[in-house]
Chain A
Amino acid sequence: MVVINIPQPTVSVTPLDVDTRMTALRKMLEIRLTEEKIQEMFLANLIRGTTHLCIGQEGVSTGVASALRKGDTVTCTYRGHGHALALGMSVKAMIAEMMGKTSGCCKGKGGSMHMTDASIGLLGANAIVGAQLPIAVGAALTASMKNTGAISVTFFGDAATNIGAFHESLNLASVWKLPVIFVCENNRYGEYSPQHWTTPVENLSVRAASYNIPGVTVDGQDVETVHAEFKVAAERARAGEGPTFLEMKTYRYLGHSRTDTGPYRPPGELDAWKERDPILLLKVKMIADGQLDEVEFGELRDAAERHVAEAVEWAKQEPYPTEADLLTDIFYEG
């Protein structure tokens, strides 16, 4: 029997209003169904390379995005489809990118690991573990110097807290008191290695203390808790009080990447986490509060499924880049 320790909230978590809940539920379903479709397309060789799916972790990106404002910026990881969709990237732009099409968010030059859309504040998903943290510190420097009131968010995994860029970034952001929120998605595995093999502390939030930054361990499966804890950190950052490190305890249902079946998981662990599925938790609350029933939930799910299917059919018809695109976008000309 695998027992999951659920972190207790450090702030008061009040229920979100029904519209915000409904938006979050729709968003999590969109992420889940998009990724299920992506997995299917990979297995059918409709998408090349590799992919890293965040199925099971949707509560973190959705909860954070629900507390952001226009002008805020985000850098994230190669497990970044959820972040991109939560911020408002269209499923079409994402699927077209994954298929290497010109109408993809990066004109097909990025792919699964580099979802980027400056127009929604998404400064880029990164394929190098930890590299997105310094970049987020720089975006926060701009916000701070121009007094925009914006905050900079960076998502990273548990294993990234063992890389130098993590420590350098927390330190720099703290000494410069920059508006950065460091959001660690602790899904318990760094690629194929369980956290306790590689990391000598259980709660990664303790690492913030040596940089004089508040560190909070959060139940990443409850979207309302994520929203509430993040909101407090965001208010601190906007008030000029500096960075916060939020460790979101979460879980990825699938392997690290396309070829990983996850044989390293203890028996029962996946099932235990599925009982704390972020979509399920919100659905149960909404049903209990009379805001949703099973039929309506089924309709939401079907609508999301149709939306994703339409995006795939559309993307299939879109053109590939040509030789004319080979050497463009290397330098800004002008």
Chain B
Amino acid sequence: MPVLTYREAVRNALADEMRADENVVFFGEDVAAAGGVFKTTPGLQEEFGSKRVRDTPISEEAFIGAALGAAITGLRPVAELMFADFIPVAMDQIVNQIAKYRYMSGGQFMVPLTIRSAQGGGVGFGTQHSQTAENWLLNTPGLKIVLPGTPVDAYGLLRGAIRENNPVIVLEHKGLYNLKGEVPDDTGVLELGKAKVVRAGRHVTVVGAQLMVHRALEAAETLAKDGIEVEVIDLRTLAPLDTATVLESIKKTGRLVVVEEAPHTSSWGGDLASLAADEGIYYLDAPVKRVNMGRAMFAYSEPLETLAIPSVERITAAIRETAYTQ
């Protein structure tokens, strides 16, 4: 079974979709000749040519808007927005245009476009190159939002996103690009909107995405030694959100911990707490616990950044608290 890095999985997904459909075009800043600043797309321009794989000027609003114009006229564009911190630069096109184009035209257009962007901290990029972007976008109906956390998901979900006839934002985690994992040859296209139980357990449900899932799995391993069986759910897609998988798990465990690499306010962690209160209240044996960045920002200095992002230790402590053991 082939083992790929997350970075290679992204590249292979793009290449496979470009081979499958000549309407797939790919552009962004330094993605073509240079192969991307995270080296996620080397060799694509050589294989598919300089018309289908293009370097853009540093003009996020223009090329994200151009992706929309291309999508509604017959292409299937994939645009790379380099760092997710640059998403706000193109926010008008994403929020006011891409998300609403089908709706405000009364359904006249399909908008088959994918925006790829690298988010997340832990690698010392500082305040404006580390943020997670999903919560900025979740308040906008009309977007699908995908957060792959493993090589196999990076591959299958990106292919799924490119096949979607709706706008999809795929937020890759830059701290995971070197992560290796098995990507079976028959992985193919993964369906969006499906969470995955990545570790089964009967005492506490922990829900997260990307780096936080990996840390939750470490915490679960530690707690298993103390007899606490943790169920870990990787959401993988945040819009649409797979609430059924989360509710089913809470029904079993009666306890929920939500872990986010994001500030506390106005986030999907709050939405899950709300879901538990609304539809899962009779399953719960303990208050819902949220582990996140509070009001902290991504700092440059390593000790500060480490304090800001939920650590294995913080996640472990939260699970213990929820499980009523110290």
Contact = CB atoms under 8 A, between A and B. Distances in A.
Given A105-B106, A109-B106, A139 B65 contact: no
Given A128-B97, A135-B97, A116 B70 contact: no
Contact of A138 (B51, B69, B102, B109): B69
Contact of B54 (A108, A117, A176): A176
A109 B142 CA distance: 14
A168 interface: yes
B62 interface: yes
A75 B142 CA distance: 21
B56 A138 contact: no
B177 interface: no
A137 B69 contact: yes
B131 interface: no
Contacts of B71: 138
A270 interface: no
Nearest to B90: A134
Contacts of A117: 108
B1 to A, nearest CB: 33
Contact of A143 (B73, B103, B142, B144): B73
A168 B141 CA distance: 27
B108 A116 contact: yes
Q: Which of A107, A135, A176 has the most CB of B within 10 A?
A: A135
Interface stretch (A47-55, A190-198, A232-240, A323-331): A323-331
17 contacts: A106-B105, A117-B108, A118-B72, A118-B108, A134-B63, A135-B68, A138-B65, A138-B71, A138-B77, A139-B70, A141-B25, A141-B70, A141-B75, A142-B73, A169-B65, A172-B56, A172-B63
Interface residues of A, number: 47
B104 A116 contact: yes
Interface of B: 25, 51-52, 54, 56-57, 59, 61-75, 77, 92-93, 96-97, 101-111, 141-142, 144, 165-166
A4 interface: no
A165 B93 CA distance: 10
Q: Which of the listed residues B75, B77, B108 has the most CB atoms from chain A within 10 Å of its own CB?
A: B108
B69 A140 contact: yes
Interface of A: 73, 75, 104-110, 114, 116-118, 123-124, 126-128, 131, 133-143, 145-146, 152, 164-165, 168-169, 171-172, 175-176, 328-332, 334
Contacts of B75: 141-142, 145-146
Nearest to B167: A331
A18 to B, nearest CB: 35
A233 B123 CA distance: 50
A131 B66 contact: no
B102 A175 contact: no
A209 B96 CA distance: 30
Nearest to A171: B57
Given A134-B93, A139-B69, A332-B166, A171 B59 contact: yes
Given A123-B69, A131-B97, A330 B103 contact: yes
A135 B92 CA distance: 12
A134 B103 contact: no
B62 A109 contact: no
B70 A142 contact: yes
B69 A142 contact: yes
Given A134-B61, A135-B65, A123 B72 contact: yes
A128 B92 CA distance: 8
A107 B63 CA distance: 29
Contacts of B92: 128, 131, 165
Contacts of B25: 141, 145
* In the complex, the 10 A-B pairs of residues with the closest C-beta atoms, listed nearest first: A138-B69, A134-B65, A107-B106, A168-B62, A138-B66, A329-B107, A168-B59, A106-B106, A142-B73, A135-B69
